[in-house]
Homo-oligomer: A and B are copies of this chain.
């Protein structure tokens, strides 16, 4: 099997903040991306829209997209609730007829659509529903406490603040330092990039922690450090259950707190704007208290997403966060992950020492 070449569907929603899956696939797998389909941005390049991604074109029709030679069509936006806009169905059917596979992280499984399933069968193509959970998940039993590597979970002040990106940048940085580091994907986009994982938000609720536990056990093989992709936020009205199940199931020794500096309200509720994001110190207290109720853990660094700030504002945001929390703080995409890499190296040494003397 050769690596797929993706045409990414992000129709009506391709932008620096909204098309999270599309943007991350482009950031981490640019060589596998042939184009993006968004009627609103057609004619521009990905660089024009995102500020990175180079000359990858944005097209306005499936026909133009298929002409770019993809081997797979990838759903690149995650609508609230995860359900697919009805009109995309005919595009996906067209792509299957044309000989493409489908990759999707939607809650609604494409393979359960009779038309798409039949077309895939007829064309001999595959539909990868990356959010479909394994059938045999366990109830978590606390086994993740026992693994050798240092386990670091990214936690956030909200959804979509850069938790996955922080862990991917940190994975690069640690491996470059010779620390054998494994990224553990817990969401659709991470799975697309990494090639394995479980979308913990798509499992039956009783098995959230069990899925996290299984991932940590699997990720711990031949690793010094395991970096677990985070989900949601501990005070997110819709998704906090996923966040806590992941926190308790993965038994992290350390936490990385992620925040988008300009955000004031919990994101999906911005229109109503009823839930203000409290100070980082409040999050640290909450995450450490509730996490340590199952396995002792502490926040060791702050990862900021400052994409919409000026350079000077971004530097100030990092300094303010570091001062407020007494922890290293950086925007790993903008300023590099070094301060966080240092923090993990220190935490890992302490963890190894504690295990030796325990």
Binding site for B on A (CB under 8 A): 80-82, 107, 138-142, 145, 200-206, 208-210, 234-246, 248-249, 268-269, 272, 274-275, 278, 285-286, 289-290, 293-294
Contacts and interface: CB of A to CB of B under 8 A. Distances in A.
Nearest to A293: B235
A142 B275 contact: yes
Of listed A80, A238, A268, A285, residue having the most chain B CB within 10 A: A238
Contacts of A294: 235, 237, 240, 275
A293 B276 CA distance: 10
B238 A141 contact: yes
B206 A269 contact: no
A208 B237 CA distance: 10
B244 A240 contact: yes
Contacts of A237: 140-142, 209, 248-249, 294
Nearest to A204: B202
Nearest to A138: B81
Contacts of A240: 209, 244-245, 248, 294
Contacts of A293: 234-235, 278, 286
A80 B138 CA distance: 9
Nearest to A289: B286
A233 to B, nearest CB: 9
A206 B202 contact: yes
B209 A205 contact: no
Nearest to A292: B235
A45 B206 CA distance: 34
A145 B239 CA distance: 16
Given A244-B241, A275-B294, A200 B204 contact: no
Contacts of A248: 235-238, 240-241
A254 B92 CA distance: 48
B241 A245 contact: yes
A286 B290 contact: yes
A286 B291 CA distance: 11
A269 to B, nearest CB: 6
Given A81-B138, A201-B205, A286-B293, 13 more contacts: A82-B206, A140-B238, A141-B272, A142-B272, A201-B204, A204-B204, A206-B238, A234-B293, A235-B248, A237-B248, A241-B243, A241-B248, A243-B244
